[in-house]
Chain A
């Protein structure tokens, strides 16, 4: 299944026959899915269908879970991320992640953003200052915090914290951004800001976003993938999925007759 046929951008991330097991239960069944560069791919589906599991497979966060087993391949720019030569540290630098619940470190705003660059070897203060400023600008947070970069990140509001987490993820210059329900804990105004942000960010990044909000998926994404019980039911251009899905199940879910 390809994205839009007239979509000229290259495939950035692609999963091939991906199975993931937690112990004896299988969370993903043979997922094959492509995400294109500079496009937003939305993952939708009822709770527990494996959206987060799929997302966390792409930056190998699932490796940290004891008892996790995987079969199949995930390619980033055509290269298998599970090749023995691949450095997980480097993979995670290239594939950033924003979590469902904002999780800034209990440090200052500045330290939160500069943490990533620092662990990847940037130590020059001027360079760090520059990274902090530009990423906070990208995350549309700069104007609100520029006068208190030394304040604790936990003193920010929920929406600001989530944008800070986005800035933190952007600071290591990733190529792919994974967002697991980034706006689920936010009010409509903050959500709108995040959505706006996603629009701007896709010019530079490949974005995969999990959302339970159908309008949000319709608004922000170019491609939508519908998951159900660990299987990929249908994937296609967002406009088509929402107006004319190929599968009855997809339509039931989208129109709310289900789950």
Chain B
């Protein structure tokens, strides 16, 4: 047993290093475990999405094998009839979705038009409103107003879409008819605004967070240069929050494309490929919801409905991808990797 200072020092160093070695090893193990859990979760999420797509796509796949011998004497829908107009001997050609008739007609255009019309109305209605509300509550309104308005709008997100659909169907449709004097109560405008009600809280919440995340120091710098509240909000805060605001709009867009119940209730569900917003429309999502329960399993109608599902999937994916890319570009421009 050495009692010399040197001996004691080696002992303590050894103990310290042993302790820190085991602690370090434990930390490394915890970190590895945590990493594995995160990776597994992320992988599972991606796998689920891929599987859904594969399942939906597989059901629609036989449609893609045109020209090959159909199995089980199954009639196959031609590409021409999916994409092109139906021709009549005595009338001009029209784009028709009429899956249950003597001669079923599966033209997709009316449904795509219906989806685009309601979605655009929803975004044009909800986007400006939600972004303005976010700017007002985060930049201008007194504290207590924001504390009332913010939870109220966020509460809107919790309302079941069937309730919003009911409201659009009963109340909104009547108002709009009174206001515009249109013939059909249920149309793209009614459904779009109803959809907008579901989209507002999404855009608002994301945009509000983005505005709140703008550093206080930007605002201070602007005020210190003599800028007013208004100039600071418009020229500094909103541009700095733009990526987030845009992400909110893209998210709202995705929700509007896929939302089903509101359009099912308030759009009138007539598959018309026309321009006016006051015509009834039938959307991709509503068509799937309304018809999938009644089709012959494995039949052409069934396949076409799955094709609609694929279309919806591709739509939302494209919107989100475009949104993500734009957000990234905006961020890079602001962030100095220019």
What string of 1s and 0s marks CB contacts (under 8 Å) between A153-182 and chain B? 111100000000100110010000000000
Asked whether, in the complex, the Cβ of A151 is within 8 Å of the Cβ of B336, the reply is: yes
Interface residues on A, range: 35 or more
- B227 at interface by CB-CB < 8 Å: yes
The total of chain B residues at the interface (CB under 8 A) is 24
- B215 at interface by CB-CB < 8 Å: yes
Asked whether, in the complex, the Cβ of B226 is within 8 Å of the Cβ of A89, the reply is: yes
Task: Find chain B residues with CB under 8 A from A96 CB.
Answer: 224-225
Task: Find chain B residues with CB under 8 A from A108 CB.
Answer: 338
If A105-B240, A107-B239 touch, does A154 touch B223 (CB 8 Å cutoff)?
Answer: no
- B154 at interface by CB-CB < 8 Å: no
- A130 at interface by CB-CB < 8 Å: no
- B228 at interface by CB-CB < 8 Å: yes
Segment with Cβ contacts to B, from A25-33, A113-121, A217-225, A236-244: A113-121
Asked whether, in the complex, the Cβ of B217 is within 8 Å of the Cβ of A90, the reply is: no
Q: How many A-B residue pairs have CB under 8 A?
A: 86
Please measure, in the bound complex, the distance between the C-alpha atom of A105 and the C-alpha atom of B189, giving whole angstroms. Answer: 41
Asked whether, in the complex, the Cβ of A116 is within 8 Å of the Cβ of B338, the reply is: no
Please measure, in the bound complex, the distance between the C-alpha atom of A156 and the C-alpha atom of B338, giving whole angstroms. Answer: 11
Asked whether, in the complex, the Cβ of A119 is within 8 Å of the Cβ of B225, the reply is: yes
What string of 1s and 0s marks CB contacts (under 8 Å) between B237-258 and chain A? 0011000000000000000000
Closest 5 pairs (CB-CB, A-B): A154-B336, A155-B336, A152-B336, A103-B217, A92-B226
Give residues in A with beta carbon < 8 Å to B. Answer: 59, 61, 64, 66, 88-93, 96-97, 99, 101, 103-108, 115-116, 119-120, 150-156, 165, 168-169, 172
Could you jot down 21 A-B contacts, CB within 8 Å?
A: A61-B220, A61-B224, A66-B143, A88-B226, A89-B227, A90-B226, A92-B225, A93-B225, A97-B224, A99-B217, A101-B217, A103-B215, A106-B335, A116-B225, A116-B227, A119-B225, A151-B338, A152-B333, A152-B337, A168-B225, A172-B226
